[in-house]
Chain A
């Protein structure tokens, strides 16, 4: 293998350049061929901050019903908002689906949605779950609920979110950190209902009850309560639903069965929702898609696969039925979004890091 006097010619620059060019041409050709092979059908572009495989199933059903194809891009809500904004008039997105009140309000505030008037949406989406100007509409609901380890804490002592600040829970409460948009919206919700002074003392009381470092996700939080590492915690309803359904294994299923679920009365309800983008030239088709997703038949599918609640009622899932009923506190999602920034400030200032 001695190559000292005959060094092998390495791959030279032109060859590499040629390869790159070839790849580029091939990619371009592939795109063109795909375009040519298509019969012209109507296509809707959807940017979605939700990412559940089951959503795709619903878009397929919509296509079957209407013949309108859905092209999907799932991403992080904030990046999608930025993308629609910078793409401006060139944006291929017709519908923007976002998770959480704060983000829907942010996008509306940036003027990314066009107002839509639809009798069907007005009928199917409760007034507090849509933008008063018709720029966005909720599609699914989720509840920030309390999970309790009955061996450590008597579930009957917790009736409201305010009860989590009681000194009796000293050292037993575990919380997710303030980066969680679910917690941010809960604080915004309490701000609207109870005003700033009460909310501040509630945050302080809860933080005083926390002995473990703040968690970074909901599922480990629910597990910690079931295992008795915490007595009480706040989690989104669908995480417990998934565990109970055995989606994350048998061990999780049996852990979740040991949890006692408490809906504070009234309960804080958050949403995922959608609107038609400001520059969409297919507002009518886009509205049809949102109508389909918000309709009882479509919406139930959108919500249920992820153990979320449909816009009205409790859906048909046995697991959600077992959780029992809850009373929505009726706070407008739009106001919750507006208060997000204030909520984060209060959390940061009072030790909820």
Chain B
């Protein structure tokens, strides 16, 4: 009963902006709600191409790095696992801006689809890495042990046992990176690739047709929902449960010689690229690294940190309630609604910001409240993705046993689910934290007076073509992300037992 109420409340809060958008889209005299306008087909094609390429490359990269850092041992493994978070903490528009600027200083034209694929893959593959490696670390140990005792090698045990068990998590990671790709705006604009989100904004700004823009955004949302829904349906057929409890240890595959070197190269490349471009820029142009006072930087960092912490806690709590409810309340309608509630991530941030303004304006809600609401709404998918996948690994028989012993859902949650979900909860919190620190459109549109954050400054400078001034706040964003990773990754590592 209590759970049901909580779920409905969260869904209502999560869906209110979307419902507001639907109303808004139909309120105006939008000439043709789904007319993309000139260049619309190209925009749609670009979006789909990016989705496909970034999805495939990111899936391979994230799964590889996840498996290597979770199930093998080689020199530097632990640090390289933490480093995988750096690319995620790098705002895509900053990466694009530094690349364009570096290129134009050195006579290289950084422009077009290939560069966009590089930038977006770098900034989103970590979703697959984090969710995948968490799954590799805890699931299917006994099966792998069994396979090993039957003489199956590392590759075989990965392919036959670990990968199928991690598929739900990997799928969730790909879905998240896909949503990010669909709503990415800054980077693709800088790289001159018109995508749907560019079209949506064009519609709003140039045609003075916000309703039409919103209609388009909702159409994009439907596309993404269908993709994600289809992925889940497919996966549903191949369900596997594994009981990884923190107690049993999996002996990692020791890698040595060229194999270890290759593992190092593979895991080092993405963070090196993500951090390398901005650092390369900084080194080559140190004569223009001027900007903020130290005092100002501290204030910006504190604001970013506080907002991100608040958003992470709220969002993970809401995500947990939604994920748990699916186990206890077997209503198809509710299932559909919770699925939709986790889709806020696929709406372009600028459009979601508009929705929140429409909601908050008449009520004079505090901008900060709206902002945190927006974060939670947007990143619910991020928190929920890993939790859903984590719960899928827990066999229903466990719940049945516990309820058979007279435990309420709350007790089962405390004694069974939470201990087993520690990994996904931490990963979710980490992802939401990092995402909030670098989030731009919502923060930009909804923040109150005199309340700049690091990402706001980065964007202001980068969009004003002053990359030099943007770098210091950008590095602080990376540092915050890294600090969060260092705080949480060891906890994840502990689950795997010592090496």
Which residues in A have some Cβ–Cβ distance to B below 8 Å?
1-5, 7-10, 12-13, 16-17, 19-20, 23-24, 27, 45, 51-53, 71-76, 78-79, 82-83, 85-88, 90, 92, 106, 177, 179, 184, 212-220, 223-224, 227, 229, 239, 247-252, 340-341, 344, 348-349, 353
Contacts and interface: CB of A to CB of B under 8 A. Distances in A.
Contacts of B314: 20
A78 B313 contact: no
Contacts of B368: 27
B107 A227 contact: yes
A86 B357 contact: yes
Interface in B34-79: 37-39
A38 to B, nearest CB: 13
A1 B317 contact: no
Given A4-B245, A4-B247, A23-B306, A213 B192 contact: yes
Interface of B: 37-39, 100-101, 103-105, 107, 109, 111-112, 189-192, 194, 198, 202, 204-208, 210, 245-248, 285, 287-288, 291, 306, 309-310, 313-314, 316-317, 320, 350, 353-354, 357-358, 360-362, 364, 368, 413-414, 418-419, 422, 425, 444-445, 447-452, 460, 464-468, 494, 497-498
A82 B213 CA distance: 13
Contacts of A5: 247
A213 B445 CA distance: 31
Contacts, number: 154
A90 B208 contact: no
Contacts of B192: 177, 213-216
A17 to B, nearest CB: 7
13 contacts: A1-B498, A2-B247, A3-B246, A10-B425, A13-B413, A86-B361, A86-B362, A87-B361, A179-B189, A219-B104, A229-B107, A348-B38, A353-B194
B1 to A, nearest CB: 16
Contacts of A2: 247
A47 B190 CA distance: 25
Contacts of B189: 179, 216
Given A75-B445, A76-B445, A344-B206, A13 B39 contact: no
B359 to A, nearest CB: 9
A215 B100 CA distance: 10
Nearest to A73: B449
A344 to B, nearest CB: 5
Contacts of B466: 247-248
Contacts of A76: 444-445
B418 A1 contact: no
A291 B358 CA distance: 32
Given A1-B497, A248-B468, 18 more contacts: A13-B317, A13-B320, A20-B313, A20-B314, A53-B291, A75-B444, A79-B445, A83-B357, A85-B361, A86-B361, A217-B100, A218-B465, A239-B465, A248-B285, A248-B467, A249-B285, A251-B105, A252-B105
A259 B38 CA distance: 35
B171 to A, nearest CB: 25
A74 B208 CA distance: 21
A176 to B, nearest CB: 10
A215 B364 CA distance: 41
Nearest to A221: B104
B310 A23 contact: yes
